[in-house]
Structure 1
Amino acid sequence: MMSGNALRDLNTLPMSERTNDSSSKGNFTKTCNGHTIENVDEPEKKSPASVRINGSEAVNGGVEVTNTEVEYIESENLSDLEDVDTCIENLLPGLESKDWVRVVESLNNVRRLSIFHREAMHSMLGDLIPLVVKSLKNPRSAVCKTAIMTSADIFSAYNDDLVEFLDPLLVQLLLKSSQDKRFVCEAAERALETLTTSVFPMSLLPKLQPYLKNRNPRIRAKASTCFSRSVPRLGVEGIQEYGIDKLIQVAASQLSDQLPESREAARTLLLELQTVYEKSPGHSTTVSEQPEISSWENFCQSKLSPLSAQAVLRVTNVAREGLVIGS
């Protein structure tokens, strides 16, 4: 079950997230010794690095302004830590810091620990995840995007060990993948893709399913894509165990959704389910003996309303006809 906080997060997009995606740079205002300092850039970079202090200049009667440039590190370019024990000791205080530069550095250390020292950080996950979620909510793009990348590395490292902590991360990633700031949105989509390949679908699908009915169509679309991507990982036996009838009802409900992304995810899922149904053990024998009972058409009609069954059969029949013509 989703918490009240999670539902509020999903249904309310902060104004800070409703920005144009024309640039990955963001200007912000900073106060230093009583003076207001404006236009300190926080650009996105593609080359591997962390947080760099580029230099300083004197303004407003001698007040020194430091320009902080953030560069995002791909996972494969992260280096190991020199002092693991000290890093772990400072990790939670760093993530709780009011200094955003320190928070970014700490997030990158979480990533390093996930990759190089998984077991050393495992016992901290319960305290760590809420602080990563806090950074995901941060209006500063540098903190938010680094937290998204941190989430992806945590998914890769801990897999099903994260299931009990997953809900608040999932809420925020669905939100971030649905906003208009493109470089944050793309990072969140990559993190969600990592999630669907890291957490076993039998655990993940029930977490995703409530978001398929969210009132925000973009949330529904992202959740539909994740759901459709996860189902094939169950395999034939896993899909049968989960229930083809349950899955076909989920896919059918998304066929009429508002956004094309949801509808395409539903079509992809339906074709997968049809293939699994027709390859299921004993299906060919049953079809030869009782074709009126076991055909895909009759299965759909028995599990769905007439209109939904018609829509599903239209999708799967068109795809089948295309394959016949192509062959």
Structure 2
Amino acid sequence: MSGKALRVLNTLPGSEKKNESSSKGSFIKAYVENSNENHTKWQTENPASLVSTPNEIEVVSTGVEVGTAEVEYIESENLNDIEDVGSSVNTLLARLESKDWVLVCEALNLVRQLSIFHKETMLEILGNVISLIVKSLKNPRSAVCKTAIMTSADIFSVYRDDIIDSVDPLLVQLLLKSSQDKRFVCEAAERALITMTTCVSPFLLLPKLQPYLKHKNPRIRAKASMCFCRSVLRLGTEGINDYGIDKLIQIAASQLSDQLPESREAARTLALELQTVYEKSHVPQPAESEQPAESEQPAADSWVDFCQAKLSPLSAQAIIRVTSIPREGLVVGS
């Protein structure tokens, strides 16, 4: 749908209740309200709308009338390829910089389509595109913000480790959005963070996440802790040993005393994983064919000894306490 057509949709006369000809590829629907009564009627007639909350309905003043654009949030698997790739790429940055929020949402969805179907064509301008996605993440209009969040998730999914040099500004905004009170934005940001920790190499991502574990905002610390834990779990036994179980146990210990329960639960899950890895890697197990006498078994530092050697007494006590209880039901939030 062209930009001109999208602008027209926001200025329909009051007698036109609903656009009857929106195409499958359109991301914006329009509806014109003249009163609160009409708005209530519209909500009643559209119970299955793709818009999940009233906060996702964007209102634009047009003189005496108020135009409401309903943004369709298309899941990645339902996006279609585009026909004119060259023209789309050439005009993409200008569209993302538009002052028309409807056109910006359209451009963000175009970024998603180009990334998914034409990954290589985006590489040359990817840095500039990400800068403009970050700008949209900061946009106070919720439709623009959520569309930018969904775009970020697709960027992570498609470009994976290639995105690492540009991940910092995206990461800080997603942590902020996942910590706010507007539920549908918060949930979208959490899903994008899960995609990031799933698709980007833990060895590259963990150093990016670590500074946020000490952020002054406890909600950001909590989200960062959950991301950090998910990334460590992806390392596996060998990866955890290579990364450094010593420094990881210190991080887990510091988060155990954090203010929010999400941080503490992530730290507990991390500590249990580190205990499992340590006991597999550092505590010698005698071969089945050998049954040495107890006095002949090689001396080895236990998990308790390890914690006491690497941590302060209080931190060691906290880690030992949480790793000596049953492990059922420990899941990092998803």
TM-score by length of 2: 0.77
Task: Give the aligned length.
Answer: 276
Structure 1 vs Structure 2 CA RMSD = 2.8
TM-score by length of 1: 0.79
**Map of 1:90 onto structure 2:** 91
**Map of 1:238 onto structure 2:** 239
Q: Distance in 2 between matches of 1:269 and 1:169?
A: 25
> Is the 8 Å Cα contact of residues 275 and 303 (structure 2) preserved in structure 1?
yes
**Map of 1:36 onto structure 2:** none
**Map of 2:326 onto structure 1:** 319
Give the CA deviation at 1:212. 0.3
Question: Which has the larger Rg?
Answer: 2
Match of 1:290 among 289, 295, 299: 299
Aligned residue for 2:229, secondary structure, equals: helix
> Is the 8 Å Cα contact of residues 49 and 72 (structure 1) preserved in structure 2?
no
Give the CA deviation at 1:97. 0.3
Q: Distance in 1 between matches of 2:315 and 2:228?
A: 19
Q: Distance in 1 between matches of 2:25 and 2:326?
A: 44
CA 1:55/1:87 → structure 2, altered by over 3 Å: closer, same or farther? farther
Gaps of 5+ in 1: 1-31, 34-46, 323-327
Q: Distance in 2 between matches of 1:318 and 1:309?
A: 15
Gaps of 5+ in 2: 1-9, 12-23, 36-60, 287-295, 330-334
**Map of 1:11 onto structure 2:** none
Please tell me whether residue 256 in structure 1 is matched to residue 257 in structure 2. yes
Q: Distance in 1 between matches of 2:25 and 2:310?
A: 52
**Map of 2:57 onto structure 1:** none
Q: Distance in 1 between matches of 2:191 and 2:222?
A: 15
Q: Deviation per CA, 1:96-126, whole angstroms, max 9, x where unpaired? A: 0000000000000001111111111112111
Range 120-129 or range 254-263, more displaced:
120-129
**Map of 2:162 onto structure 1:** 161
**Map of 1:27 onto structure 2:** none
Q: Deviation per CA, 1:170-211, whole angstroms, max 9, x where unpaired? A: 000000000000000000000000000011000000000000
**Map of 1:198 onto structure 2:** 199
> Is the 8 Å Cα contact of residues 48 and 77 (structure 1) preserved in structure 2?
no
Greater relative contact order: 1 or 2 (C-alpha under 8 angstroms, separation 6 or more)? 1
Match of 2:29 among 39, 52, 55: 52
> Is the 8 Å Cα contact of residues 278 and 284 (structure 1) preserved in structure 2?
no
Post-superposition, which runs of at least 4 consecutive aligned residues in structure 1 deviate over 4 A?
55-58, 60-65
Q: Distance in 2 between matches of 1:71 and 1:320?
A: 41
Q: Distance in 2 between matches of 1:62 and 1:126?
A: 39
Q: Deviation per CA, 1:294-317, whole angstroms, max 9, x where unpaired? A: 211101110000000000000001
Aligned residue for 2:226, secondary structure, equals: helix
- Show the 5 A alignment for 1:1-327: 50-54=27-31, 65-280=66-281, 283-284=284-285, 288-291=297-300, 294-319=301-326
